[in-house]
Structure 1
Amino acid sequence: MQIDSLIEFTNFKCVSMNKDVVDFEYCSFKSVNRTYQYISTKVKVFKVSLNSIKVNFGLHQQINGYQPFLYNVTFDGCQFMKNTKSNVVAKYFYDFIKDITNLNHTCPINHDVIVDKLSSEAINSRVPKVLPFPTGNYMFQTYWTANDKYHAVTKIYFCLL
């Protein structure tokens, strides 16, 4: 039995917890048609440089609210950018955005960060055709910490068809 699964974005939310350090100029979800959707964001960095960045991401499945599902990973973003092979799971997800972002160097981060048009089509072309995931609604959530303080949260909502 072969299962062909497709990802379809349903929403994208971004929240700055400290607007003196970072804020979102835009955080957009566009649905061109049923098969082509994309998300984009631009994070304004107000502090001169961010030298210590930690990222936590998790995949959540909607079952009576969003419950943790499969991944909950925390890693040092600065060390990861020095050697992207150091964390296989983080690299897998970074590879989705590496060609459409300017976040492609080690710390310090002293400029705005852009992710431009991450499409569901691009994800579907990289995700294996046979997935052991059940169909349903999911959320991919990231927490961004700089200098040991939470500064931003992003949430990508999607359904697996």
Structure 2
Amino acid sequence: MATLRDLFLWIGLWYISQVQGISKFTNIECLSMDETFTNISLCRLYAVKRDVVEMSLRAHILDWPKRPVSMRMQLLKKASGYKPFLYNVYQSDVCEYLEKRNHPFVNIILNSFGNRTNVNKCPVPPEIILEHFRFPVKVLDLMPLPTGDYGLFTTFSFDRKERAQVKVYFTLTEYR
């Protein structure tokens, strides 16, 4: 026979399972440290609705080097500045990664782009396009994150020099 305590326990568990969240982009920065490598023509967020923000990016790769281009992806959480949170992934060759798809965290991020980008394999097209990309809420099912402000910093480099960087900031808020 169910007791009052059991009833409150079930109501509490149901309530917790009904908690939903808002997740949206808050800022984006695109930096080209080497103008002979890339030119970024579009890097901005668009407010579609109150809780919906879309991101668009266009970068022209002027001369893809013959040497491997490395990529570093960092997930940071805001706590008196942005601090390393969970992931700091270094891929020594972008083309090798695009062929093998051998890192779970990077797979989650890049697979969430779906058909919003033209970068799927090498050779990388001369113009990289990401259009009308909304925060991938389904990613949070694979990689649950606590409430807070986050930054996803992606840096591209070759010859031991950083050439381009994209910093995407987003927030996660739980609500009932």
State the TM-score, normalized to the length of structure 2: 0.80
The ranges of structure 1 where at least 4 consecutive aligned residues each deviate by more than 6 angstroms after the TM superposition are none
Residues 1:158 and 2:160 aligned together: no
Bigger radius of gyration among the two: 2
Write the distance in 2 (CA, Å) between the matches of 1:68 and 1:129.
Answer: 20
1:115 aligns with 2:127: no
SS in 2 for 1:32: strand
Q: How many angstroms apart in 1 are the aligned matches of 2:142 and 2:164?
A: 32
Cα deviation 1:129-153 (Å, max 9, x = unaligned): 993x321111111101134431111
Match of 1:71 in 2: 87
**Counterpart secondary structure, 2:132:** strand
Check whether the contact 2:77–2:148 (CA below 8 A) recurs between aligned residues. yes
Distance 1:34 1:53 in 2: 38
Whether 1:34 and 2:46 are equivalent positions in the alignment is no
AA in 2 matched with 1:156: V
* Residues 5 and 129, structure 1, Cα contact 8 Å, conserved in 2: no
Higher helix share: 2
**Aligned equivalent of 2:78:** 62
Structure 1 residues 45 and 4: alpha-carbon distance in aligned structure 2, compared to 1, 3 A threshold: same
- For structure 2, the 5+ residue unaligned runs are 1-15
Measured on the aligned residues, the alpha-carbon RMSD in Å equals: 1.9
Show the 5 A alignment for 1:86-101: 86-101=102-117
Q: Which moved more, 1:19-28 or 1:89-98?
A: 89-98
Find the aligned partners of 1:158 and 1:16 in 2 and give their Cα distance.
21
- 5+ unaligned residues in a row in structure 1: which ranges? none
Question: How far apart are the structure 1 equivalents of 2:139 and 2:94?
Answer: 23
Alignment partner of 1:23 is 2:36: no
Counting matched residue pairs gives 155
1:129–1:6 Cα change, 3 Å: farther
CA deviations 1:51-74 (Å, max 9, x no partner) are: 412110111111000001001101
Task: Give distance in 1, aligned partners of 2:156 and 2:139.
Answer: 25
Aligned to 2:161: 149
Q: Deviations over 1:83-112 (max 9, x none)?
A: 22x2222111110114211111123x3511
Task: Report the TM-score when normalising by structure 1.
Answer: 0.87
1:128 to 137, 141, 147: 141
SS of the residue aligned with 1:15? Answer: strand
Give 2:65's aligned residue.
50
Higher RCO structure (Cα 8 Å, ≥6 apart)? 1
Q: Distance in 1 between matches of 2:54 and 2:143?
A: 23
